[in-house]
């Protein structure tokens, strides 16, 4: 095999590697959540009774009953902001602002998830009380963890002093991440709340 000098574009290469890396990471994330959700489906399909305390009492009343729709909106907002972030290109001013908006939306999501879990615990339904409630806590808790991790990543994008082009590229990665998390959340809500 012959070897001679060749010039390659380092920047293009790094962008391509980052793209591939992001997609692979997201694929792994989807497989992880898919395994959790498959477990939920298998347990639910194999169970004669399936109690749903998160759809009863105070949790079924305003405003908690529609809280998961608000949380969906927060995630949608995060997707929108990361899309704006990635679309800004080299226009440096405003980049951190969009990232901080994502962090704020994510924080709202985590806070509301925590509040809902707390409300459920107050009704006496703990993860140990039945398999359905255990599934509820694990699935919603996993999404909250993913959102929290996304918030940290967004804060990192906002804080790290890198060239605007690079930061916009990271915005594109964030956009994909938030889209996947939004999809996971919709599947979770659908799986837990639809009959």
22 versus 81: smaller Cβ distance to another protein: 22
Q: Is 20 in the site for another protein (CB under 8 A)?
A: yes
The closest alpha carbon to 12, from 164, 132, 119, 169, belongs to 169
Q: How far is CA 172 from the centre of its chain?
A: 15
The helix-helix angle for 10-45 and 131-159 (nearest 10°) equals 170
42 versus 73: smaller Cβ distance to another protein: 42
Of the candidates 16, 55, 97, 122, which one interacts with another protein according to CB under 8 A? 16
33-55: b (≥16 Cβ within 10 Å) or e: beebbeebeeeeeeeeeeebbbe
Q: Is 31 in the site for another protein (CB under 8 A)?
A: yes
Q: How far is the CB of 141 from another protein (least distance, A)?
A: 10
Q: Is 134 in the site for another protein (CB under 8 A)?
A: yes
Report whether 133 contacts 53 (CB < 8 A): yes
Of the candidates 52, 64, 123, 130, which one interacts with another protein according to CB under 8 A? 130
Which residues here bind another protein, judged by CB under 8 A? 1-8, 13-14, 16-18, 20-21, 24-25, 27-29, 31-36, 38-39, 42-43, 46-47, 127-131, 134, 138, 142
């Amino acid at each position: 095999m012959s070897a001679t000098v060749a010039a390659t574009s380092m920047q293009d290469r790094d962008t391509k590697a980052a793209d591939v890396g992001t997609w692979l990471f997201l694929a792994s994330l989807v497989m992880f959540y898919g395994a959790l959700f498959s477990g939920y489906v298998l347990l639910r399909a194999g169970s004669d009774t399936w109690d749903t305390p998160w759809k009863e009492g105070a949790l079924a009343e305003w405003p908690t009953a529609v809280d998961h729709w608000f949380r969906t909106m927060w995630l949608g907002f995060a997707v929108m902001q990361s899309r704006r972030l990635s679309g800004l290109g080299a226009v440096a001013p405003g980049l951190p602002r969009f990232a901080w908006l994502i962090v704020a939306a994510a924080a709202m999501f985590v806070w509301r998830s925590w509040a809902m879990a707390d409300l459920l615990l107050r009704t006496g339904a703990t993860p140990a009380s039945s398999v359905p409630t255990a599934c509820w806590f694990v699935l919603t808790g996993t999404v909250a963890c993913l959102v929290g991790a996304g918030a940290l990543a967004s804060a990192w994008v906002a804080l790290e002093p890198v060239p605007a082009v690079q930061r916009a590229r990271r915005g594109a990665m964030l956009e994909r991440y938030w889209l996947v998390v939004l999809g996971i959340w919709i599947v979770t809500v659908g799986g837990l709340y639809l009959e």
